[in-house]
Structure 1
């Protein structure tokens, strides 16, 4: 890979033409091979031949994780979303299984090649080249984690070290010993690793790392968190976005101006979370995705639950694929409504990082004592924040009111009092959660 793929700089009308052609063939195959969609569309009296424009796709219902799980429960172990014979599966990955049995998603050999190619494009767009040393710090155990990165950076020609998200001292030693130049991981683990490296007297800002790709949780698109990662690592930080079912969805380039959607791999809609009708570019809505060429588990109008803003302007890097301005703003089901104001945990994190600073952990506590008795909605945010001085609480409360336009009740706890994670940060907890109930401010 020496330059942009041609389709990364296609004009918008060429992209739409390609997407419509791919959808025609993909939906026919899905109707033929996927029992779930064939039954659903036949009941609706809809056939893929009726698709004459991209807008026609909106006639179909969205599909979500609950639909997928019900299909598996009815026909284990794969369910009837599977669109290839079981013997054609080359890889299975699973959901976290935190609310039920782990949910499998399959890949064929061609799907894996496509996956690797997309990750290689992401790395290339961030300045990684053949000869770089990539240390993958995403989890490998059961979850989809770092396999995409490992495949993609290998395809690009980098030397790959599959480190995983544990054994921090060895990770730091490896970074320095082997001259690692690029890393990937969750913001939480990368900040944890940076803190540990400083404790060891080997700050990562003195390493050769110059490219940091983060994903799995908000952070890369939160200005204060991105700035903190870049300072601690002495490197540029790029946001990557994907989910188990779509790997990857979007990634930032060197312009750091929002993740480029992989518009040759997925067709993306941004819709109102209630009416599910399209919203204009520049307005927030929920991202809905359709595979254009996935073989094993193709999904049509997949409800990601992620709130995004689409920007179709051409990027400074020359790529024309639409971007997610500001990355994922939050989960539709994580959004808090405080006296009519929509507040996402990522927005809270930005204020906390800039006000409290350094590597302080925090939690948004859902406290019934601060809820309106009539509606159940919170009337203020309760924040539990690590800080060395109780006086920081007042400063933070003022900053939250000024920037987010809501009242905050801030409980200060000592540095290190809140649990750390090497996987995905848990920012919103309930007041009766053991993490909260067993610790007093």
Structure 2
């Protein structure tokens, strides 16, 4: 049985030792990447070995646009080894009409699992646990690596792909599951389903819920609703198919730690004229840029994640790894600018979860009389809609029309939720 994450750099290690650890691994990765087709031109002027981590900034940024296939489903250029080297294939959701296949070698997959053990350490998972994996087990990477990390640790895994929410709740009860893995949205949906069935989720054996796939696990309102509904502790996690499992929740639930033993993190501001961005000061909001250090079959060097974060190196957490207060605040591509106000969908969700643990909602952005407007559809009563509208005005300084709609009329999502509908392009 694998009891801890002792094989890797300890999350409580000193920052000086960590920086040297990162530099050594970065140079090893760059030495390999420099000979690979995708990075040959990008790294041709780089003199190795690098003497400091700051020299990483000499390398061009990598964006999602660099990875997206232009005409047909095929793996991104960073996965440029012969196909016989890869043993795993997954894919991201479709962008520009095509999904993005991602590939992993056996060593890459073991690296994913090593990253996931940081999450399982916080969740205190042992061989005595029974883990319920509530996701579809389709081509999206989802909790595939979590499933294998649980097995690596010695826990028992119960896969629930293709089952209804009612059936999953019954399986949780029948098998005495102690850990649940799902998205924050689905954890709340199961709370709502259980209530409709007359079930009290606080009476089952689930004591920890590991969430991933979307922001929410580090938002106080969302986290509190999930924990109260289940009577369990919530542990947040963050990752990306094209990048790896890069973050684990802080024990107090107030944010995420970047796994800096396996990733080099930069937080940059891209609002200025410099396309390369500028470093933000401690505690200021910026976009997270990551370099993975252990995925040799698909190295992502200086990848713009699109995740908006507020980062601290000087913090009161037990781990010395970079801490992101509130986890992922939002997505750069989801940010809405309405009448000069920057709005993140996660800010709206935090307000909604203060009044309802599981009400579904939809954010609609449209253009009215050449002005961008935002309105909200909320499953609930007219009184709840009015209250949310008032909170949005008080907290975000923005007038938002909130319409109450019938329960069950809005779409549900088991995986990443897609609640933002931007109609401006179709109106233009």
Q: TM-score, normalized by length of structure 1?
A: 0.89
Post-superposition CA distance 1:37-86 (Å, at most 9, x none): 112333xxx1241632111111222111211124x759x84454235332
Whether 2:389 is the aligned partner of 1:386: answer no
- Cα-Cα RMSD: 2.2
Residue 82 to residue 419, structure 1, CA distance change in 2 (3 Å): closer
Residue 336 of structure 1 is matched in structure 2 by 336
Whether 2:30 is the aligned partner of 1:27: answer yes
Contact 1:20–1:54 (8 Å) recurs in 2: yes
Whether 2:406 is the aligned partner of 1:406: answer no
Where 1:349 maps in the other structure, the secondary structure is helix
Deviation at 1:19, TM superposition (A): 0.7
Where 1:285 maps in the other structure, the secondary structure is strand
CA distance in 2, matches of 1:432, 1:18: 47
CA distance in 1, matches of 2:5, 2:74: 40
Post-superposition CA distance 1:103-162 (Å, at most 9, x none): 111111111111112212211212222211111112311110121110111111111112
Deviation at 1:432, TM superposition (A): 8.6
Post-superposition CA distance 1:281-318 (Å, at most 9, x none): 211111111121211111111111110111223554x3
Q: Which has the higher strand share?
A: 2
Contact 1:22–1:292 (8 Å) recurs in 2: yes
Deviation at 1:344, TM superposition (A): 0.3
Residue 197 to residue 395, structure 1, CA distance change in 2 (3 Å): closer
Contact 1:126–1:253 (8 Å) recurs in 2: no
Q: Pick from 398, 408, 422 the counterpart of residue 430 of structure 1.
A: 422
Contact 1:117–1:155 (8 Å) recurs in 2: no
- Kindly tell me the number of residue pairs found equivalent between the two proteins: 419
CA distance in 2, matches of 1:304, 1:120: 22
Contact 1:73–1:79 (8 Å) recurs in 2: no
Deviation at 1:363, TM superposition (A): 1.3
Residue 351 of structure 1 is matched in structure 2 by 351
Deviation at 1:427, TM superposition (A): 1.8
Deviation at 1:97, TM superposition (A): 2.0
Deviation at 1:3, TM superposition (A): 5.0
Q: Pick from 127, 131, 136 the counterpart of residue 133 of structure 2.
A: 136
Deviation at 1:172, TM superposition (A): 0.9
Where 2:43 maps in the other structure, the secondary structure is helix
Residue 437 of structure 1 is matched in structure 2 by none
Q: TM-score, normalized by length of structure 2?
A: 0.92
CA distance in 2, matches of 1:248, 1:259: 12
| Structure 1 spans left out of the alignment, 5+ residues | 435-441
Where 1:307 maps in the other structure, the secondary structure is strand
Where 2:375 maps in the other structure, the secondary structure is strand
Q: Which has the higher helix share?
A: 1
Post-superposition CA distance 1:195-227 (Å, at most 9, x none): 222222222221100000111112212221111
Question: After superposition, where does 1:27-176 map in structure 2 within 5 Å?
Answer: 27-32=30-35, 34-42=36-44, 46-49=45-48, 51-70=50-69, 77-78=74-75, 80-164=77-161, 166-176=163-173
CA distance in 2, matches of 1:405, 1:77: 45
Q: Pick from 163, 179, 183 the counterpart of residue 180 of structure 2.
A: 183
Post-superposition CA distance 1:336-374 (Å, at most 9, x none): 1222221100001111221x42321111111212x6x3x
Question: After superposition, where does 1:247-266 map in structure 2 within 5 Å?
Answer: 247-266=244-263
